[in-house]
Structure 1
Amino acid sequence: MIIIKDLFANLAILISLLFLYTQVSNRSPLTPRSSYQIKLLAGISGGFLGNVLMQYSINIGTTIVDLRLIPIILLAYFGGLVPSIISMLLIIGGRFLIGINISSYASTVLVITVTLFSVWIARTHLSKQMKRMIMLTFSNISASFLFLYLIKDINFLLKLIPIYWIVSYFSGYIAFNTVTFLRKSQELFNKYKAESMIDPLTGLNNVRKFDEVFNQSLADLEKKKQKLSLLYIDIDFFKKVNDTYGHAEGDVVLKELGHILRSCTRTFDIVSRNGGEEFTVLLLDCPLDQAVQIGERIRETVEDHSFILTQGGTINLTVSIGVSCYSDTTKDAGLIINDADKALYEAKRSGRNMLCVAHY
């Protein structure tokens, strides 16, 4: 009963720390293609977990029995060679800190063998379930040989080895499924979070993302002392497009305009669809004269562009643009949205297909 109790204590620690790690690394889950920084963090975390498990092990003379091999197997499966080796070295080092004896040397051989075998299996083209089963089985067989070599009490071995196999398989199953479930949950969360910031029609930022970036840009202005410009863009007579050709064709126009806006702006500018036929371009570290150049490039490109309709034929459209800039048109950065909006409606009133600059 003590054996079962201690091994299940190991399992509880294992699952708890795995859950904690996945929460910390939720933006960058470990894969064989992860950066070395992520692999280093994963390897250190696995080594830490293995050392914690050794502190709550079953002690049989100088031999300690625990689930330290599970973190290594997980790292080999999900991350490949680098994190597994880092974890292996930390676990070996931790074992020697507990005591230098025949058991620690034998344990070193075991850990190295299981690590290298698991990394090799992870690279094969076997199914996921087969890889997991082979890794855990090899680990159990290797550990059993170690127990037979180090522990001379046959009666105790007859109890220990079957229980160890059962708990090890169960722990491995729980660990693999816990990590897989948490990773899928994180992927879905990150996907939904990204989608909540993206306009589904054009693929541009939506108004929520625009507000987030705009507020962050205002905060950065205090530190960087840079200029911030805004283009407010509206498609002229877009309602006629929907009324004449239908909303499906209107959507085609909006998508194509999104492509034009991307092509006419810098890679780090924030292009958003703020609703309906209204778009914005937040120009980071951009003075007024450069913002006007970018705005005119957009206006001219749209004017010269033929929008191809799905039902056949093309149409030509124009846009009106309002421009504001901190600190060229206002000293209050928080007003550039309102100022650009006023400039846009001035362009509309002045005949459309125009760019107007906000008044200082």
Structure 2
Amino acid sequence: MAVLPVRFTKTKRDKLAQVLWVLNWISIVTGIILFSLGIFLKVEINKRQDLMVERQLQSVPNMLIAVGLIACAINFLGGKICYDCVDTNKFLRWKLVMLPYIICTFFFTLSVLVGALMCYSMLGQLEESLTLGLRDAMRYYKDTDTPGRCFLKHTVDQLQIQFQCCGNEGYRDWFQIQWVSNRYLDMSQREVVDRLRSNVEGKYLMDGVPFSCCNVNSPRPCIQYQITNNSAHFNYDYQTEELNLWMRGCRQALLEYYADIMHSIGLTVLIIWLFELSVLTGVRYLQTSLENVLRQGDPECESDGWLLENSFVETARTNFNIIKHLGKFNQINTASNGDPNIDRPPTAHYGPDNVPPKPLPTSS
């Protein structure tokens, strides 16, 4: 029994072919959108790649770019096929191409769905990448004289100002690293020497943060040194002065920023997938209805179209049997290629000396 059969008249078949021709051209536009989304996501990731550790983050934008290019090619071909299918005689040129085209389009549509799911699954990798990348960037913040790291101070400061964040998880992360270069430490001061000696690794640690952590909305001048020392500042309590510094960590700020982008892209790709699925369904109905017209031999007759000629179970069983027979056929070919004695006639054995008997004399 066919799955979702629909009865088509000649007029309905022609209208279906015309609508599908328009939808395929619209699908080319959706392919361009997919390509553009992939480029946009790739640029956004590369823009802050210095703050990330490589975790295969480029796979999602590369997937969207590839799917977008394939969409343009497949839908251009689909538009040409649907345009010719208005005339039943022209359909004969595409009859052998239609089924492979539908199979390829099915896997392409499936890849669009995979791309949408990858957008949502990428957030876990992105969070881990940002956590490790920001940790390393803060560690090298002071290395303004080291080649390859001299730009990280500017990058981190720009990040904290733009996203109104401080540190990795929060401003206290700066207390655990030396973010002031030894070049700017006065070794003649006893306080500096004591701080260096008090740390096992010889680092200059203090309860201070870079200027970029200062909250511009604070009603008082920013306090970025001796933050936890209430007596060092007038009318100050660091536990209640939340407006003095940005409280949110940069990892959370960046994760929310990329999460909004990924959710928007994922939703757009899902909508495109539904659209491509509807186009694929229409092309399948057009193909089956036109093949039934050819069987009946009358271009003006009514014909049935369906998604599957048999039920899902029967179709799966048939395909499984085809695959199983192909596997057996390959095994036979492999065995025959490996054993030279297969498919050869048996050798005759005449006796212990393997000598054929003499022929009998013929009577004259």
Which TM-score band applies after superposition, normalised by the shorter structure? under 0.3
TM-score, normalisation: structure 2: 0.28
TM-score, normalisation: structure 1: 0.28
Select the structure of larger CA radius of gyration.
Answer: 2
* Larger relative strand fraction: 1
